[in-house]
């Protein structure tokens, strides 16, 4: 299974990873090789097998709906690259300008 350079560029955007031209060249080769390897699973007939997402028997573990201690605003913001004391600050969500 070979991936094209365009496939890899699209996946890079989905994964929110800026890739240089060199990155794209290298990853196109590496990912094609790895995808080719994992494609060996195709030889197994699994039509009658249900997917197993995790190994536990438990499902939907809930706690009681009562208030519990959580991080303070200051703790939540302590490692933020930029904040104003109550919110995380990020560059403009829309458009070209107004980067924070």
| Residues making contact with other proteins (CB under 8 A) | 3, 7-9, 11-24, 27, 30-31, 33-35, 37-42, 44, 46, 49-56, 58, 61, 63, 71, 75-76, 78-82, 88, 90-99
- Provide, rounded to whole angstroms, the least separation between the CB of residue 3 and other proteins: 7
Nearest CB to other proteins, comparing residues 78 and 84:
78
What's the burial of 72, exposed, middle or buried (CB within 10 Å: 0-12/13-18/19+)? exposed
CB 3 within 8 A of CB 28: yes
């Amino acid at each position: 299974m070979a991936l094209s350079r365009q496939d890899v560029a699209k996946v890079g955007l989905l994964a929110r990873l800026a890739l240089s031209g060199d990155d794209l060249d290298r990853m196109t080769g590496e990912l094609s090789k790895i995808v080719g390897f994992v494609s060996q699973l195709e030889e197994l007939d699994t039509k009658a097998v249900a997917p197993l997402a995790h190994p536990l028997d438990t499902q939907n573990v809930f706690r009681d709906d009562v208030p519990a201690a959580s991080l303070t605003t200051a703790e939540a913001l302590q490692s933020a690259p930029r904040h104003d004391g109550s919110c995380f600050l990020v560059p403009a969500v829309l458009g070209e300008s107004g980067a924070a």
